[in-house]
Structure 1
C-alpha cells in the first residue's frame, strides 16, 4: 500500500509511524485509518521490528476524528458512530495493546479526543512541554472513546478522569506527568531526540521479557492476586529458558554488555 496520510519506515529494529496530515492536525479519516492498519500489520509480521515509535507531523499529534470525513451536517442522515468505533478505533487500540513489542508515543503537540486516547493506548508516552491533552468529546455530546473510559480512570482515578471527561479542559504535558498520565514531559526541542534514544534502547533490549511484562500488566486488570501470581510463575518459567535470560546472566557474570536477540 502506498501511503498518503502517514509516514512509515523501519530501520535498525525501530518502526516509526508518523501521522501525516499536519494541515488538519493529523485528524483521522477513513483513509488514514486504513493506512495505519496496514502499517501496524507490517510491524506485527516483521520479526526484525523490536519497538514502535508513534508520533505526528507538524504542530499537533492528533486532533482525533476529522468531522468533515463523514456526513454530520444538519438535515443529513445521522452517522453511525458506533460503527466507526467498532471498525476503526477499537481495533486500533487493541492492536497497539497486543503488539509483542514496546510502543512509544511522542506527543509533539495537541492530542485531542481520540488523539489523546490513542496516545494513552501506547506503553510509554513522552510529550513536548507545549503539548496538551483534551478530552473534547463532551463538547459534542459524546463519551471518551478509543479506550478513554477504560484508561483514564485507571491511570488517574475516578475524580480526575471524570473532571477531564466532563469539562473538556486542556491538560498540559507537565501536569499530565505530575498526575501519572504520561511518562515524561520534555522541552519541545528535545522530544524526538529522547524518543529516538528510547527506541534505540528498546531495539537491543530483551524484547520477549518486555512483551511479557506488557501482557502481565494488562492481565492484572481482571486477575485475582492468586491468578496473577500463577501467571508470573508461568511467564518466568518460559522466560527462564530463553536465550536472552541466559545471555543477560552471562553478561552480568562477565561484566560486559549483553547482546540480546529479543528471543
Structure 2
C-alpha cells in the first residue's frame, strides 16, 4: 500500500510508503494520500492526525522518473497533476477540521516540504534535511508553498530559500520561524504520536475554528496560480533538460529558455 493508515484511539497515523524512493510521490501515492486524508477528515472518531513517511524519510517530493515520462509523452499535460492531485492534498491538510502533525525524518524536499508546512504542527528529527528543491530543475514552487513558506519565514527569507534552493536543517527552520519541535533521530514519530494524543483529548471544535480563522488567505487562487506557473515552466528547455540531467546524475547548464 502506498499510504499506510494506523489508528491508535482517536489518532490516525498516515504513513507514505515508498521507502526505496524516499517516499517520492507518484500518481498512485498522491491519490492514496488524498483518499487517506479525506477519510481521516470525515471520520468523527479521528480527532488528530499524524503525517509521516516510511524508511527514515518524510517525502522527497515529486517522483522525477515518473515526471520525466510524462514530459516525454505530453509536456502540455505533464503538470495537470499540480491542480488535480497536489492542490487537493494541500487543501485537505489546510482545511481539515482537526489538528495535523508532521513527523519529519530524513529527506523533506519540494512538495514534501510543502506537505510539512501545510500541517498545523511539526516534529523534526535533528538530522532531517530540508530544501525547496524546485529551482534545481527549473521550476517554481507548487503545493501551496508560495503561501505557506512566506507565512512561516517571511517574504525575504522565502525568496532566498526558493531562489537558491539550498538545503537547511531543522535548527535553521525553527530559528527562521517554521515552528516545530526538534528531537533525536528516530524519535519524530513517537513524539508526534504523543503530541497528537494530547490534542485528540482537547477541544477539537475549538481547534477547527482556530484553523479556519487563521487560514483566511485565498487558498484556491494560490493553488491555481501555482499550477499555471508550473505548466508554463514545464514547456521550457531549462526544465526538461534539468530533469533528464537529474536522472542521469549529471550537472545541467541552465540557458534561460
Give TM-score scaled by structure 2 length: 0.80
The runs of 4+ residues in structure 1 deviating greater than 3 Å are 70-77
Distance in structure 2 (CA, Å) of the matches to 1:190 and 1:85: 32
In the alignment of these two chains, the number of paired residues is 218
Between 1 and 2, higher relative CO (CA 8 Å, sep ≥ 6) is seen in 2
Q: Is the 8 A contact 1:90 1:146 kept in 2?
A: yes
Range moving further from structure 2, 78-87 or 40-49:
78-87
What is the Cα deviation at residue 180 of structure 1? 1.2
What is the Cα deviation at residue 82 of structure 1? 3.5
The residue number in structure 2 matching 1:102 is: 99
The residue number in structure 2 matching 1:241 is: none
The residue number in structure 2 matching 1:91 is: 88
Distance in structure 2 (CA, Å) of the matches to 1:184 and 1:30: 31
1:10-34 alpha-carbon deviations (Å, 9 max, x no partner): 2310010000100000000111112
2:177 matches 1:180: yes
Distance in structure 2 (CA, Å) of the matches to 1:103 and 1:77: 36
Tell me the SS of whatever aligns to 2:25. coil
Cα gap change, 1:142 to 1:45, in 2 (>3 Å): same
2:38 matches 1:41: yes
The residue number in structure 1 matching 2:65 is: 68
The residue number in structure 1 matching 2:47 is: 50
2:16 matches 1:19: yes
Tell me the SS of whatever aligns to 1:61. coil
1:124-143 alpha-carbon deviations (Å, 9 max, x no partner): 01110101211110011101
Cα gap change, 1:159 to 1:14, in 2 (>3 Å): same
Give the alignment's Cα RMSD to 1 decimal.
1.6
Cα gap change, 1:184 to 1:81, in 2 (>3 Å): farther
Distance in structure 2 (CA, Å) of the matches to 1:65 and 1:43: 23
What is the Cα deviation at residue 154 of structure 1? 1.6
Structure 1: gaps spanning 5 or more residues: 223-263
> Which of 139, 142, 145 is the equivalent residue of 1:145?
142
Q: Is the 8 A contact 1:70 1:79 kept in 2?
A: no
Q: Is the 8 A contact 2:114 2:143 kept in 1?
A: yes
What is the Cα deviation at residue 75 of structure 1? 5.8
Structure 2: gaps spanning 5 or more residues: 219-257
Tell me the SS of whatever aligns to 1:27. coil
The residue number in structure 2 matching 1:215 is: 212
Give TM-score scaled by structure 1 length: 0.79
The residue number in structure 1 matching 2:119 is: 122
What is the Cα deviation at residue 123 of structure 1? 0.4
What is the Cα deviation at residue 71 of structure 1? 4.2
What is the Cα deviation at residue 81 of structure 1? 4.2
Q: Is the 8 A contact 2:71 2:78 kept in 1?
A: no
What is the Cα deviation at residue 68 of structure 1? 1.6
Q: Is the 8 A contact 2:105 2:186 kept in 1?
A: no
